[in-house]
Amino acid sequence: MLKPIALTLFSLAAQAQAGPDRQAQAMLDTLRELSGVPGMSAAVWQDGQLRWQGTSGWRDTERRLPVEAETRFRLASVSKLFAATAAAQLKAQGKLDVDAPVGPLLPQLDPALAAVTPRQLAAHLSGLPHYEARDASIGATRHANARESLVYLKGRTLQSTPGGRYLYSTWGYTLLAAAVEAVAGQPYLDLLSSKVAPGLAIGPDQTGQPGPMSQAYNFVARVAQPAPAADFSYSWGGAGLAASAPALAEWGARVLQGRVVDAATRDWMWQPVLDTAGQPVGERHFKLGFGWRLGEDGEGQQIVHHAGTTLGARSALLLWPQAGTSVSLLSNAMWTSSIERSAELLSAPFRAPVAALADQPCPVKATRFEGELDGTAMQGRAAFSRDADGLCRGELSLPDALAKVVNPGPQPAADKLVVIGLQGDLARAALVTPIGLADWRAQADGSVRVEGLAGRRLTLRLAE
């Protein structure tokens, strides 16, 4: 019979003994270890200042070069936020009508696409497709500006009537960046560096070139290998930028402060866009504003965000408007990941503690656990300890049912999960898995509920 670990009600004043920097770095290091991703970097800006930046692993595995604060990673689809914000800048200046067709701005554009508008492009309502079979060979040509890349849109067929339905499309952002470039009267990358993100380590992807860029990796047979070379100038607006984690988080902080666009324009970007039927655009977990995803965190607080995935990268940027907090998480491999939930938990040590949790002192006597995953019973071994910094840390063995959830590939399969205490020892913790960080919360009945684990229902109970 299990001997349960006793719980008490957690006071708001109680905190884990380890400091927030130590907690965040432990989460980042352990996530990189369990995922097998060669390198990661993250940063938190809050109230106009850098609160924390962390690096882990290698930017170049062959040369054994570590990730550093200035290391740049591919942003993948987080690049879309810059194109949308550049368009919003031009709107605020009275230079761009976001509801007027883009055709007159771009005489070289295929006439079949001329009627779509910047708002439709930013909200994925244009009807343009995402990548298609014909795109297998893209990434072999370097383009001098955004308008050159319009060559890839010739002969594209709209998949729906513009404004009619949400259809995610990076090609829509290729077109949006070209329209922005035409209105601004300068190359898109020059606009980015002078007006949208001046002075920040944000610019075009330069993987494989000398400088601070990380190498890019993909998993082959669950082993990280250098990714094939690719030139993303076909869509700087949709997938082609790179940044360091501190620079990306600072840019998010500038947006929060009204320093990239004014506050009224910023708030306009964060209003849900409606389709022609009057329905908000988006997916299951978010609505879509002018390029920005609109949602809530695990506490129901407003967040605006975006994530990305491409050859050699997973990326995320999350902003909390009410809390004045911006967090970035960047990595140098394509891997299965709950990247936005992971970024949310990385920032948890720097945000307000969760109220009314059941306290769970570090269970150093625990040796095993029982639990249920979507109603399926399971059990395993457990071991916890407190390190010299006061951080409560534990390891759980991995039952078969749970292994099927957290080891989908392409990254290496793990044989354990790790728990990192965040609040009141283990009143709240991060459950670190190969696919990201999940939210561990102690319950008044002595159990633990884990949220954000690939949409699955997981409850656990520790025992001696």
Q: Are strands 428-433 and 436-442 parallel, antiparallel or unpaired?
A: antiparallel
Q: Six-digit token pair at 389?
A: 């910094």
Q: Within its chain, how far is the Cα of 72 from the centroid?
A: 15
Look at the block and give the residue holding tokens 């869509």: 235
Angle at 304 between CA 37 and CA 150, to 5 degrees: 75
Distance from C-alpha of 184 to C-alpha of 176, rounded to nearest angstrom: 12
Distance from C-alpha of 23 to C-alpha of 28, rounded to nearest angstrom: 9
CB 59 within 8 A of CB 214: yes
Low-confidence ranges of the chain (pLDDT < 70): 1-17
Q: Six-digit token pair at 242?
A: 């790179």
Closest CA to 238 of 204, 212, 268: 204
CB 10 within 8 A of CB 359: yes
Q: What's the pLDDT at 209?
A: 87
Distance from C-alpha of 61 to C-alpha of 53, rounded to nearest angstrom: 21
Closest CA to 43 of 204, 255, 243, 250: 250
Exposure string over 445-454, b if 16+ CB within 10 A, otherwise e: eebbebebbe
Q: Within its chain, how far is the Cα of 230 from the centroid?
A: 21
Q: What's the pLDDT at 136?
A: 87
Parse the chain into domains and list their residue ranges.
8-36+353-463, 73-334
Look at the block and give the residue holding tokens 């078969």: 400
Q: Residue 196 has what DSSP assignment?
A: I
Q: Of all helices (H) and strands (E), which one includes residue 266?
A: helix 263-269
Distance from C-alpha of 432 to C-alpha of 440, rounded to nearest angstrom: 10
Q: What's the pLDDT at 4?
A: 55
Q: What's the pLDDT at 17?
A: 66
Q: Six-digit token pair at 29?
A: 């290091």
Phi and psi, residue 217, nearest 5°: -135, 150
Distance from C-alpha of 213 to C-alpha of 19, rounded to nearest angstrom: 30
Distance from C-alpha of 461 to C-alpha of 57, rounded to nearest angstrom: 33
E strands of 187-271, at which residues?
202-204, 217-220, 223-226, 241-244
Phi and psi, residue 300, nearest 5°: 80, 10
Q: What's the pLDDT at 137?
A: 85
Q: What's the pLDDT at 12?
A: 35
CA 342 vs CA 87, 315, 332, 348: distances in Å = 29, 11, 15, 10
Q: Six-digit token pair at 336?
A: 């299965």
73-334: CATH topology = Beta-lactamase (3.40.710)
CB 425 within 8 A of CB 397: no
